[in-house]
Structure 1
Amino acid sequence: MYFSRLTFNPLVSHQQLAQTLLQDTYREHQALWQLFDTDPNAARDFLYRQVLEQGRIKYYVLSEREPVDRSGMWLVDVPKPYDPKLVEGQRLFFTLRANPVVTVATAEGKKLRHDVVMNAKKQMGFDALPPADRLPLQQIVQDSCVPWLQARAESNGFSLEPEWVTVDGYQQHESFAKQQKRPVRYSTVDFQGILTVTDPVRFRTALFSGIGKAKAFGCGLLLVKRV
């Protein structure tokens, strides 16, 4: 695996950048995909996250192959081999942008995915409550998203310290993937906190494969460093 950091080439025209940034995350994903394969039917073998650092948009990318820019649109730092040394009991600081969803059965028996934050608001009858009785949105985000991540911790080879986990940056998005007439709607949140490795093999898989849904839209990449 390779870990890369990308920025936009300042020599690229504003029009070309706007076609990537101002459309939607599907086009952003396609622009990144061109760094690895021009075959539209190829399977995606990378994870990425967009970040804003010092006023500049950057991308962290974890991939099976080294990125190769043929368009001249990117500045690619020298990719670094990614082979983390993991041991049971290791405590790590982590950040994660995720798409937290829960599967809910309808009265007709159909199973639908719901944004966990909106589902929590629905369960508490948020819209019908007097404004003075409504919980702040940030508290709802924290209270619904931390349990969502905890429920996935064991299967991904780690445990959480909930008191050291914060959730913010809740956003709802729309993206017109491929030729779909209706937009794909999804939400994202940003986690950060402390975790403990309980199963190095499973945790390694989580690092390489990501956590949760919407990986094609910049979700799922788990970034870690030593505490």
Structure 2
Amino acid sequence: MSAITQSASVTRGYFSRIELHDSADARVFVARFGLEGYGLHQALWRLFVTDPGIQRDFLYRVIDDAERPAFYVVSARPPVANSRVWRVRSRDYKPCLRAGDRLAFSLRANPTVKRASAPGARSVRHDVVMDAHQRGMAPDPTGGLYDQPGLAWLTPRSAAAGFRVEKTRIDGYRRHQLYKRGGSPIVFSTLDFEGVLTVTEPTAFCRSLMSGLGPAKAFGCGLLLVRRV
């Protein structure tokens, strides 16, 4: 079978839009648990955890322009939510894709590179934008020019994830610092990628739709949103 006729689909999943109600119960929930920083991570985790030992099997993306806190979520199981707190709209997520399909995509990622501070030292993750800036390879990140480090991070990962980037716009660089009660701050950065891709390996690509790209998936990174063009 030639590559262009190969096809695959997600084994089974769910695509959900989850939005906080404008209700008294929702306000009590927010006052108790919070939806800022680490509280957001915990709030979404509660929609999927039925067994304390289960591993995270969902990805999410904050919808920036929503009137109330809202998220896109791709998950292996449907979310279970208090209907007085959350409005949940879920549907089966099983895109059937072929090699050669062109899709518009949106990705919020935590692009990092591992580097050791000295020979023999343990490698540590670094933000690719700041790393490139410090190595003299890119303009100051506050200038809004992230194409070089962003593409250097995305290109090899896209090949392994079963797609090729045709064009992309890279912006929205942000640094985040989340606080977990009794723990050290969680610090990471994000870049937003928007563009068009071509599916090259349908099986690998469908796997990526469910497993995501890059680190910090527990904090809203890695979900690849796609639509046909």
TM-score range, shorter chain: 0.7 to 0.9
TM superposition shift of 1:142: 2.0
Q: Relative to structure 1, is the Cα distance of residues 111 and 8 closer, same or farther in structure 2, using a 3 angstrom cutoff?
A: same
| TM-score, normalised via structure 2 length | 0.86
Residue in 1 aligned with 2:151?
146
CA RMSD of aligned residues (A): 2.1
Residue identity in the other structure for 2:156: A
TM superposition shift of 1:105: 1.9
| Greater CA drift, 187-196 or 29-38 | 29-38
Q: State the secondary structure of the residue aligned to 1:188.
A: strand
Counting matched residue pairs gives 214
Q: Relative to structure 1, is the Cα distance of residues 10 and 115 closer, same or farther in structure 2, using a 3 angstrom cutoff?
A: same
Distance (Å, rounded) in 1 between the aligned partners of 2:219 and 2:66 = 23
- Gapped regions of structure 1 (runs ≥ 5): 127-132
Paired-residue identity, % = 44
Q: Which has the higher helix share?
A: 1
Q: Relative to structure 1, is the Cα distance of residues 98 and 125 closer, same or farther in structure 2, using a 3 angstrom cutoff?
A: closer
- Gapped regions of structure 2 (runs ≥ 5): 1-12
Provide, for residues 45-97 of structure 1, a one-character-per-residue CA deviation record: whole Å limited to 9, x for no partner.
Answer: 111011123533310011111111137321111x1100001100111100001
Residue in 2 aligned with 1:98?
109
Distance (Å, rounded) in 2 between the aligned partners of 1:167 and 1:178 = 33
Residue in 1 aligned with 2:7?
none
1:1-227 pair list within 5 angstroms: 1-11=13-23, 12-14=25-27, 16-18=29-31, 19-22=33-36, 24=37, 26-70=38-82, 72-77=84-89, 79-109=90-120, 110-124=122-136, 137-139=143-145, 141-161=146-166, 164-177=167-180, 179-180=182-183, 182-227=184-229
| TM-score, normalised via structure 1 length | 0.87
Distance (Å, rounded) in 1 between the aligned partners of 2:149 and 2:78 = 37
Residue in 2 aligned with 1:129?
none
TM superposition shift of 1:16: 3.0
Distance (Å, rounded) in 2 between the aligned partners of 1:59 and 1:134 = 31
